[in-house]
Amino acid sequence: MNDSFGASIALVRDTFREAFARKIFWGLFGLSTAMILFFLFLLRIDVVEGGLAAFQMFGQTMSPRTDVDRLVRGVYAGIATFQYIWGVFLAVFASAGLIPSVLEPGRIELLLSKPISRVHILLGRYVGNVLVVACNIIYLNLGVWTIVGVKTSIWSPMFLVSIATTIFIFAVLLSVVVLVGVLFDSAALSIMIAVALMIMSPILAQTSTMLRLLSSEWSRQIWRTLYYTLPKVYDIGKMTMDAVQNRTFGGYMPIWTSAVFAVVILAGALTIFARRDF
Amino acid sequence: MTSEYAIQTSDLTKVYRSRWKRREVRAVDGISLQVPRGTIFGFLGPNGAGKTTFVKMLLSAVHPTRGSALIFGQDARIPESRRPIGYLPENHRFPTYFNGTGMLDFYAALSGMDSTQRRKRIPEMLELVGLEKWGSLRIGKYSKGMLQRLGLAQALIHSPKMLILDEPTDGVDPVGRRQIRDLLTQFEEKGVTIFINSHLLAEVEQFCREVAILDHGKVALSGKMQDLTAGKGYRLSVAQVPEALAEELRGRAASMTSRNGLFDFQFATRQGANEALDLLRAQQCEIESLTPTTSTLEDVFVRTVEK
């Protein structure tokens, strides 16, 4: 059991090492740092008795059009949206190479020669990859949350929900990256398919409209199947925005169906990896 | 772990099938092989004979189509069966983001060593392979020979009971080769089984106790090195041999070659060589030399794969 735990730690650490040997991950952290610095130095907010007395960006005083609470929620929503869409896209882009690299001839044989199961090897890489990206997401969100909180004295814990949802949707998309990586050893194809799922999601989410527009029952059935089967990147993003802005949202179906999708895809990837010859 | 054999395979077969073209390649064809514990075993064969596929099946990197493989009596498909194995693959590709120490630490952790054991063992291993000064250098900057030695340290770090080495001296200079050979001999003395897949026949002949020669996926020949190379004989070099006599001796000899008027006859027995000598002396032929010879592993190998 201890051996197994030690091997798991080694596999996760190896993923961290490889991730940080790739400049693209430093780019991700650099981008997060730039955003944190932006809020640290360029956002000036003076609050008097709960109202917005002065609001400066880039040193220019802006007209206070709203109260501080709304402004802060707007800032959080902007950050959460940016991170949810662009952060996840960049994370998928950065991660896509981490699966094919471990399957390279001359490297995989050595890993397989160790007394650990194939499931262990692939899950170690998957978990390591999720943790690397989670570090970046937590770093950015906590950084912005702390700075905005200190400057406004408004601490909105609901913003931290976006940490969980962004990590979750990345983990879902990473399962696709892992499956495509194991099947085709191709980082480019992994990115294409993961991004295609991101793009398809807002289209598929227009279910009620599309079901009215589609003329045949079978096409409506296909639409429903696709909507309920594929990960709901858009719906979960919308849930995140609602949560950050203290709005109510309807049900957790997008989360659990996406979780089921990730589990099935990951199980498929593990099965294929376990059966493959190297 | 009570088996007297380090490796035991039965009818081990691997057939690769192309999905679309329905073509079949029988890479390994029903190999039943037994490698006793504590020996140095040479696994030879021409390119494409199936050596690497066989080794990969032992490590469960390739799934057999048929048959079974046991490592120290344990089914090779079980991860635990690989605990007593140290493996150095051919054309290894160690991640270049590691330095020497980090690389050993990673593979040692995967082999089940805890951090205390690793901290103690890593400097010892680096020293053993002569890389003690280079442990902190990124392995992207290592020469091929250094990488090979680091790979060997990786295979040895967890004190395995068996080493499976694919071309262990590939890219290593002659001095380094000698060092690796000496090192492996030390491990043999400690009872470690060493299974070597190599093209360097002279090297295999020097330090392997047993060999198997693979051809077209099957074991074409196997046995103890001393038995396989014991094909003793006599080489008779003679000048000015009349044509008729040369023809007669060609029939008696195992082989005959001639160049610039000098004939080389190879006789399998001393009696055959003496009879030929009598015939040659009777016709006033010039005897250049008479030399006892033994078969080299290369002779055995070429004879086996050319059959």
Q: How confident is the model at residue A76 (pLDDT cuts 50, 70, 90)?
A: confident
Query: To the nearest whole number, what is the mean pLDDT of chain A?
Result: 88
What ipTM does the predicted assembly reach?
A: 0.85
- Give the list of residues 6+ apart from residue A273 with CB closer than 8 angstroms, or none: A118, A119, A121, A122, A182
DSSP B111: T
Higher-pLDDT residue of B254 and A81 is A81
Q: For residues A119-148, give the mean pLDDT.
A: 94
Interface membership of B153 toward A (CB under 8 Å): no
Distance of CA A125 to the CA centre of its chain: 16
Interface membership of A109 toward B (CB under 8 Å): yes
Residues of A in contact with B167 (CB under 8 A): none
Interface membership of B87 toward A (CB under 8 Å): yes
A25 to chain B, minimum CA–CA distance in Å? 14
> Residue B30 in contact with residue B85, Cβ under 8 Å?
no
Query: Out of B56, B79, B93, whose CB is closest to A115?
Result: B79
Higher-pLDDT residue of B243 and B28 is B28
| Amino acid letter, B101 | T
Higher-pLDDT residue of B107 and B145 is B107
pLDDT of residue B172: 80
> Residue A141 in contact with residue A79, Cβ under 8 Å?
yes
Q: What is the DSSP string of A25-77?
A: HHHHHHHHHHHHHIIIIIEEEEEETTEEEEEEETTEEEP--S-HHHHHHHHHH
Confidence check: pLDDT of A53 > 70: no
pLDDT of residue B184: 87
Q: For residues A145-170, give the mean pLDDT.
A: 89
Distances (CA, A) of B161 to A141, B90, B195: 51, 20, 11
pLDDT of residue A23: 85
Q: How confident is the model at residue B178 (pLDDT cuts 50, 70, 90)?
A: confident
Q: For residues B237-242, give the mean pLDDT.
A: 91
B61 contacts A277? CB cut-off 8 A: yes
B63 contacts A106? CB cut-off 8 A: no
| Amino acid letter, A66 | T
pLDDT of residue A46: 60
Q: What percent of chain A has pLDDT over 90?
A: 63
Q: For residues A22-33, give the mean pLDDT.
A: 90
How crowded is residue A249: how many other Cβ atoms within 10 Å of its Cβ?
14
* Residue for token pair 């650990």: A116
DSSP B130: T
Q: How confident is the model at residue B235 (pLDDT cuts 50, 70, 90)?
A: confident
A113 contacts B82? CB cut-off 8 A: yes
Interface membership of B75 toward A (CB under 8 Å): no
B61 contacts A108? CB cut-off 8 A: yes
> Residue A125 in contact with residue A98, Cβ under 8 Å?
yes
Query: To the nearest whole number, what is the mean pLDDT of chain B?
Result: 90
| Amino acid letter, A274 | A
A105 to chain B, minimum CA–CA distance in Å? 7
Crossing angle of helices A118-152 and A161-184, in 10° steps, is 150
Q: What percent of chain B has pLDDT over 70?
A: 98
| Amino acid letter, A108 | I
pLDDT of residue A215: 83
| CA dist., res. A278 & res. B25, Å (int) | 16
Interface membership of B242 toward A (CB under 8 Å): no
Q: Locate the chain A residue with the closest alpha carbon to B65.
A: A277
* Residue for token pair 């995967």: B110
Distances (CA, A) of A126 to A85, A134, A175, A178, B233: 21, 12, 8, 8, 63
Interface membership of B251 toward A (CB under 8 Å): no
Q: What is the DSSP string of A171-220?
A: HHHHHHHHHHHHHH--HHHHHHHHHHHHHHHHHHT-HHHHHHH--SHHHH
pLDDT of residue B297: 84
Q: Which two tokens stand for residue B290?
A: 């008479």
Crossing angle of helices A118-152 and A68-82, in 10° steps, is 160
A278 contacts B62? CB cut-off 8 A: yes
B95 contacts A17? CB cut-off 8 A: yes
Higher-pLDDT residue of A59 and A158 is A158
| CA dist., res. B10 & res. B32, Å (int) | 4
> Residue B64 in contact with residue B12, Cβ under 8 Å?
yes
Residues of A in contact with B164 (CB under 8 A): 113
Residues of A in contact with B60 (CB under 8 A): 112
Judge residue A256's burial from the number of C-beta atoms within 10 Å of its C-beta, 0-12 exposed, 13-18 middle, 19 or more buried: exposed
How confident is the model over A195-232, as pLDDT tens digits?
999 999 999 999 888 888 888 889 999 999 999 999 99
pLDDT of residue A5: 87
Q: How confident is the model at residue A57 (pLDDT cuts 50, 70, 90)?
A: low
| CA dist., res. A80 & res. A150, Å (int) | 19
Q: What percent of chain B has pLDDT over 90?
A: 60
Interface membership of B110 toward A (CB under 8 Å): yes
How confident is the model over B47-102, as pLDDT tens digits?
889 999 999 999 999 999 999 999 999 999 999 999 999 999 988 999 999 999 99
- Residue length of chain A: 278
Distance of CA A256 to the CA centre of its chain: 16
Secondary element (H or E) of residue A148: helix A118-152
Confidence check: pLDDT of A52 > 70: no
Q: For residues B127-153, give the mean pLDDT.
A: 92
Residues of B in contact with A3 (CB under 8 A): 112
B109 contacts A10? CB cut-off 8 A: yes
pLDDT of residue A101: 92
Distances (CA, A) of A65 to A27, A29, A51, A192: 35, 33, 11, 42
pLDDT of residue B228: 81
Confidence check: pLDDT of B1 > 60: no
